[in-house]
Amino acid sequence: MCGRAFFLISLFVVSATVVAEQSDASIVQTILEKCGFSGAAVSDVAGMENGRVVSLDLKNRDISKDGISFLPPEIGKLSALRELTCSGNIIDSIPSEIGSLADLQKLDLGSNRIVVVPSAIGGLSGLTHLDLRHNRIERLPPEIEQCKQLVVLQLWGNKLASLDEAVTRLPALEELYLNDNRLTSLPAGIATMKLRYIDFSGNRLCNLDETLTAWAKKKDAHFAEAQKCW
């Protein structure tokens, strides 16, 4: 009797794994089809572990073409996803469904056309690396502070005119890239952050108060010369 029960349990586990694999694979296939990759194989872009998709690489591999123009909402169904790469495309928005990916650790959306970062970004509680460089982002949502595991935040080459104070409440943040934006000020709390590296060159930080000016000089003795104060 015990042997039969063990067999049934084992069969159930195997069946569940197969169903999960088919489910994740079908989701990726739907994403590929919606993005115009009807001839691409799931195995070409997805990494699998224990029957689940844990990585998805949708970066543009042909620089002579624009790449994909949007990220389908089905991305939120890949609940085991840990790495997502969509760099070098022409994506102009991030679907709110991305906030369902609590296990996501690395998100690369660099070199796209994103203007708005949705508040759903706060749902990425496991995120450690966020790459948003070379987009058209004008601000970050306050919900970014919910990404408590974030270590690296890459924002250079955007249109940020200000930086939300919420960024200063990211306890694990070590690297912050703010270069080549339109910043005219910095949040006061940034001076208390334990950053290992920060780059704020190529902005318009020309009239910081004494406290922030002193802090900035400690981080970069030539920070003033690296600003666009003309």
pLDDT score recorded for residue 14: 41
pLDDT single digits (tens) 23-48: 999 999 999 999 988 678 999 999 99
> What's the total number of domains in the chain?
1
pLDDT single digits (tens) 142-161: 999 999 999 999 999 999 99
pLDDT single digits (tens) 191-214: 999 999 999 999 999 999 999 999
Q: What confidence tier does 8 reach under pLDDT thresholds 50, 70, 90?
A: very low
Residue 4 vs residue 61, higher pLDDT? 61
As given in the structure block, the two tokens for residue 99 are 């906030």
pLDDT score recorded for residue 87: 97
The model's pTM is 0.89
Q: Would the pLDDT of 12 be above 50? A: no
Structural domain span for residue 196: 2-226
Per-residue exposure over 90-118, b if at least 16 CB sit within 10 Å of its own CB, e if not: ebeebbebbbbbebbbbbbbbbbebeebb
pLDDT score recorded for residue 19: 44
For residue 140, with 0-12 CB atoms within 10 Å meaning exposed, 13-18 middle and 19 or more buried, which class applies?
A: buried
pLDDT single digits (tens) 73-118: 999 999 999 999 999 999 999 999 999 999 999 999 999 999 999 9
CATH of the domain at 217: 3.80.10.10
